[in-house]
Amino acid sequence: MEFRSFAGESMEEKQNRVNKIIDTLRSEYPDARCSLDHTNPFELSVATILSAQCTDKRVNKVTESLFEKYPTPADFATADQSELEQDIRSTGFYRNKAKAIKGFAAQVVERFNGAVPEHIEELTDLPGIGRKTANVIRGVAFEVPGIVVDTHVKRISRRLGLTEESDPEQIEYDLEELLPRSDWIDWAHLIIDHGRAVCKARNPACRECVLLEFCPAGQDQKA
């Protein structure tokens, strides 16, 4: 493989590179999607809150019985705090998560008649919902274009030279300028799958990476 320099890359060149990255990732991960089990926007919201510092696999194991025990937002809102903590204990940070979920559920019931809102300003005004979680809800539940910036997206977008920012919101804005709007939702799903499989935080498998020819960081390691 002939390596290239990305120094001085124009916006148009970078956008073309992004399109090739997306095409390559779609080919590599054709089934990329949200891996949190849910049947409605509220369940997705609760699962996303639980997923902080926890694997999706563990969250899915917990929510399988959790959503049977608390089938509605009102059930979560009126749940006993200590009991809910024990129900979600294995996801970690269970006290804070239980408090956030109860607060979120209560606000959804009181302010939105039990229906999770779609607008980002309303979502981020709710307990436990930051911009990342709001974009997950909007994209997956409502199919509203938005870019989720989690640890995988932050790390890999920086390695690919698509942003120099560290703040997730600034990274989101940088990616919005580069990615076609039609790919905003899928970007995180593709990148998360790639981050878990190849481009890990420690010891990324650059030799096996299908994005090597598009990646400044990977080429630096092989130089």
Cβ 110 vs Cβ 118: under 8 Å: no
Q: What is the rounded CA–CA span in Å between residue 223 and residue 217?
A: 10
Long-range CB contacts (within 8 A, 24+) of 195-198: 195/151, 195/152, 195/153, 195/155, 195/156, 196/152
Instruction: Give yes or no for a contact between 173 and 157, defined as CB atoms under 8 angstroms apart.
Output: no
Long-range residue pairs from 4-9, CB within 8 A, at least 24 positions apart, any chain:
4/213, 4/219, 6/161, 6/216, 9/161
Is 209 within the bounds of a domain? yes
**pLDDT given for residue 219 in this prediction:** 79
Please tell me whether residue 142 adopts helix, strand or coil conformation.
helix
Same domain, 47 and 113: yes
pLDDT tier, 6 (very low <50, low <70, confident <90, very high otherwise): confident
For residue 223, pLDDT over 70 is answered with: no
DSSP characters over 163-216: ----SHHHHHHHHHHHS-GGGHHHHHHHHHHHHHHTS-SSS--GGG-TTGGG-H
Q: What is the pLDDT of residue 1?
A: 47
pTM: 0.92
Place of tokens 């309303």: 122
| Residue 147 pLDDT grade (very low, low, confident, very high; cuts 50, 70, 90) | very high
188 domain residue, yes or no: yes
* Final residue before a domain boundary, out of 142, 169, 194: 142
Query: Domain with 192 in it: what CATH number?
Result: 1.10.1670.10
**Domain final residue pick, 108, 127, 142:** 142
Catalytic residue among 87, 132, 186, 193: 132
In the prediction, which pLDDT does 164 show? 94
pLDDT at 201 over 80: yes
pLDDT tens profile 46-95: 999 999 999 999 999 999 999 999 999 999 999 999 999 999 999 999 99
Of 122, 142, 162, which closes a domain? 142
Does 89 lie in the same domain as 59?
Answer: yes
Q: Find the CATH number of the domain harbouring 88.
A: 1.10.340.30
Q: Amino acid identity of 151?
A: T
Detail the DSSP E strand segments found in 53-163: none
Residue 64 lies in domain: 41-142
Contacts of residue 221, defined as CB under 8 A and 6 or more positions apart, other chains included, come to 204, 206
Question: Quick one: tokens of 175?
Answer: 């990616």
Give tens-digit pLDDT for 182-193.
999 999 999 999
Domain count, the chain: 2
Q: What is the pLDDT of residues 129-146, one digit of tens each?
A: 999 999 999 999 999 999
User: How far is the C-alpha of 21 from the C-alpha of 124, rounded, in Å?
Assistant: 30
132 labelled catalytic: yes
pLDDT for res 66: 98
Phi, psi of 85 (to 5 degrees): -55, -45
- Identify whether residues 195 and 124 lie together within a single domain: no
Q: Are residues 218 and 151 in the same domain?
A: yes
Residue 4 lies inside a defined structural domain of this protein: no
Residue 61 a catalytic site member: no
Treating both helix axes as pointing N-terminal to C-terminal, what angle do 151-159 and 168-178 enclose, rounded to 10 degrees? Answer: 60
Catalytic hit among 87, 97, 102, 150: 150
Give per-residue pLDDT as tens, 82-131.
999 999 999 999 999 999 999 999 999 999 999 999 999 999 999 999 99
